[in-house]
Amino acid sequence: MAPSESRVLSAPMKVEFDYTRSLGPVLSRFMSALAQQQVLGGVLADGRVVVPPPEFDPVTHAAVTELVPVSSAGVVQTWTWVTEPVKDQPLDRPFAFAHVLLDGSDAPILHAVSVDSPAAMSTGMRVKVRWADEPTGTIRDIAWFEPVGDEEPAPSASVETTGEPEITGIISPVNLEYMYAASPEESKFFRGLAEGRILGQRCPKCQKVYVPPRGACPVDGVPTAEEIELPDRGTVTTFCIVNVPFQGQKIPIPYVSAYVLLDGADIAFLHLILECDAADVRMGMRVEAVWKPREEWTTDLNNIKYFRPTGEPDAEYETYKQHL
Amino acid sequence: MAKVPAAVIGVGQTKYQAARKDVSIAGLLREAVDRALADAQLTFADIDAVVVGKAPDLFEGVMMPELYLADALGAAGKPLLRVHTAGSVGGSTAIVAASLVQAGVHERVLTVAFEKQSESNAMWALSVPVPFIMPVHAGAGGYFAPHVRSYIRRSGAPTNIGAIVAAKDRQNALKNPYAHLRNENTTVESVLASTMLWDPIRYDETCPSSDGACAMVIASESAVGTSGVTNPAWIHGTQMRSEPTTAAERDQVNPQAGREAAAALWKQAGITSPIDEIDCAEIYVPFSWFEPMWLENLGFAAEGEGWKLTEAGETALGGRIPVNMSGGVLSSNPIGASGMIRFAEASLQVMGEAGEHQVDGARKALGHAYGGGSQFFAMWVVGADKPSN
């Protein structure tokens, strides 16, 4: 191993999805009002008004049904300074996160306050909503709060609209970017693939050969140190024909997703079967790897493009039935 | 110290459907919770602790939903626990709740499980490509279909068994007002004629994608006594087992963890012949072929013979061992709740409250759930009589 080469392989992995969130009756009214530059608070059983309105009373647990308009201006109760804003925060320059008690409410809302420096922030200062230029019916319709000028009159409580709320859902994007790291044993396996070799490991206790290697036998819990090089041919144990399109799919359908048991291995792994009709794939079919051209090899199981039938007679059921 | 006898005294379910766009996740849960509390003739003030379960977070994209749900679940000032065991979570959540009562820690525990699949896409969430390996994964169906093929090969079952299960469960669902799918014309022939999705699994042999929640109130013997409930579902036994996802020669058709959980469960409940002593069973069957597979895994039939019970109609209402009287996971699948629905439906049977899908005179019932790559198992036996053990 070169000194610069890490013991484990890693690669970026992205998980992203736009969840479609239903808001329910309370938050639908709240978001619909925001889209019209109005702020609504929920009236709790003890008479307190809370923004954003909770769906259920924190004391009585009853559903909150009464929403009332509150002012879009209020007082900073406490705050903290954000020196380095991160992506998707309300402001892309340094700002404060603050608890703002809106006039007419009894509990503060957490939001951003836009000022030039922490010196411009103080507990007790008056701030008002800076509305987003384009309403979206989300909490981001409050772009941020900003200080109220000395002579500026505070906006009064907004007027509540009536009728069915227009906004009943929001899109909630999730975007997670990982650096995925393979285990040291898997890394050896993937590096072997980059040289056209398939490396497994044998458990010293049960003698089972694992490919990809696991580092430890999941049954005996002991390290699997002995390295075994395996051939690139084996037997289809079981399989399915995937005929379902889905988001994120990489392989055109229909395709055969098969468990391939390499000769000398004791566990099968999933791979593609091609160069024959999907309907002709069968249990016990003998298959061999079809590799990408050598110059395209990387540390990836995709170096094997797929497996194809060898034309040998099918393996006897007795030889693979313990893998079904 | 002996366990405190415990029983289910309240069950609440939402109507399962493809999308409940009128409620938030919290509102969905509350519907089930309010119904369970009303069924138990209790209020939040009577509840000592709350145990909540849901499927993997990516399924709805709400990380640690138990934090946001505390208000809706009336959990302020009380212990609030979340359980997480993939698809079996509804079952293991109920078992954790029961164990808090059986251990003498609490008198009345509220337990609830949920899923709002309409906010996400479970197929996507189960198929996120991982670096370095082949992206052949295709959701739960793609995972389980090869093992169904293995079952068919090992057992020599006729290839229409899966369709028999699907047709039966869809017909049962018509008797359950909470069931999602209401496909009146489903027959063995129509199932066989439906599109092949993950060969050998056809469209009609798969579960739907549902929104829904299920809740139960579990009470101690003394709390049952002071409640107004006269027909509790007594808990006769609970078991959970796990096993590795992948191991050399691991049996995914008849997993060891499931076999061992069942054997321990029957012993605990004093049952020597499950098929003779259990009146009906709610078994986690997301793909139709899992009915015969789990009949064998649970010990209702010898290995390789589960399909014979299905084929002979013995798992239908009126059969020797009715399975999934409610329509099962094949008719309603809010994933995180699906296990708890099995446990709750088993309870309703021995409470005599299952309505149109009631098995006459049911005294002992099984609730079962599994999850992950068939690696988590949770099951319980409930009875109309207080357990003698």
Q: Where are the domains of chain B?
A: 6-121+210-226
Query: Binning pLDDT at 50, 70 and 90, where does residue A3 land?
Result: very low
Residue B60, pLDDT score: 87
Q: Can you read off the two tokens belonging to residue B387?
A: 């357990």
Contacts of B71 in chain A (CB under 8 A): 54-58, 61
What CA–CA distance (Å, rounded) separates B330 from B204?
A: 9
Tell which CATH architecture fits domain B6-121+210-226: 3-Layer(aba) Sandwich (3.40)
Which pLDDT tens digit goes with each residue over A211-259? 999 889 999 999 998 999 999 999 999 999 988 877 777 778 888 999 9
Contact B71 A61 (CB under 8 A): yes
DSSP letter for A213, please: -
Chain B nearest CA to A168, separation (Å): 8
Contact A23 B30 (CB under 8 A): no
Chain A nearest CA to B190, separation (Å): 19
A interface mutation test: which of B199, B209, B250, B251 has the most A CBs within 10 A? B199
Query: Binning pLDDT at 50, 70 and 90, where does residue A162 land?
Result: low
Of B71, B123, B248, the CB nearest to A208: B248
How many beta-carbon pairs below 8 A join chains A and B? 186
Of A23, A237, A247, the CB nearest to B124: A247
E strands, chain B, are 6-13, 49-54, 80-83, 108-116, 196-199, 201-202, 211-220, 233-242, 280-282, 364-371, 376-383
> Could you write out the three-class secondary structure of A32-74?
HHHCCCCEEEEECCCCCEECCCCCECCCCCCECCCEEEECCEE
Which pLDDT tens digit goes with each residue over B289-339? 999 999 999 999 999 999 999 999 999 999 999 999 999 999 999 999 999
pLDDT at B145 over 90: yes
- Asked if B71 has any chain A CB less than 8 Å from its own CB, the reply is yes
* Residue A88, amino acid: D
Put simply, the chain B residues between 167 and 196 with a CB less than 8 A from any chain A CB are: 195-196
E strands, A149-204, are 169-181, 198-202
Contact B120 A324 (CB under 8 A): no
Contacts of B24 in chain A (CB under 8 A): 21-24, 27, 55
pLDDT above 90 covers what percent of chain B? 88
**Residue A236 φ then ψ, to 5°:** -75, 120
What CA–CA distance (Å, rounded) separates B121 from B103?
A: 38
Q: Can you read off the two tokens belonging to residue B81?
A: 């626990």
pLDDT at A2 over 80: no
pLDDT at A1 over 60: no
Which pLDDT tens digit goes with each residue over B191-210? 999 999 999 999 999 999 99
Put simply, the chain B residues between 304 and 343 with a CB less than 8 A from any chain A CB are: none
Q: What is the mean pLDDT of chain A?
A: 92
Contact B61 A186 (CB under 8 A): no
Chain A nearest CA to B272, separation (Å): 29
Residue A224, pLDDT score: 92
Q: Please confirm whether the linkage preceding B79 is cis (ω < 30° from 0).
A: no
What CA–CA distance (Å, rounded) separates A40 from A159?
A: 9
pLDDT at B1 over 70: no
Contacts of B154 in chain A (CB under 8 A): 321, 324
pLDDT at B227 over 50: yes
Do the beta carbons of residue B122 and residue B333 sit within 8 Å? Answer: no
A interface mutation test: which of B21, B71, B132 has the most A CBs within 10 A? B132
What CA–CA distance (Å, rounded) separates B95 from A115?
A: 53
Angle at which helix B290-297 crosses helix B256-268, to 10 degrees, equals: 60
Q: Can you read off the two tokens belonging to residue B213?
A: 């929640």
Contacts of B202 in chain A (CB under 8 A): none
Would strands A198-202 and A142-147 be described as parallel, antiparallel, or unpaired?
unpaired
Contact A251 B136 (CB under 8 A): yes
Do the beta carbons of residue B250 and residue B244 sit within 8 Å? Answer: yes
**Residue A303 φ then ψ, to 5°:** -55, -35
Chain A nearest CA to B61, separation (Å): 7
Which pLDDT tens digit goes with each residue over A183-214? 999 999 999 999 999 999 999 999 999 999 98
Put simply, the chain B residues between 228 and 267 with a CB less than 8 A from any chain A CB are: 244, 246-249, 253
Contacts of A27 in chain B (CB under 8 A): 24
Contacts of B78 in chain A (CB under 8 A): none
What CA–CA distance (Å, rounded) separates B271 from B263?
A: 10
Do the beta carbons of residue B232 and residue B48 sit within 8 Å? Answer: no
Task: Give me the interface pTM, i.e. the ipTM.
Answer: 0.91
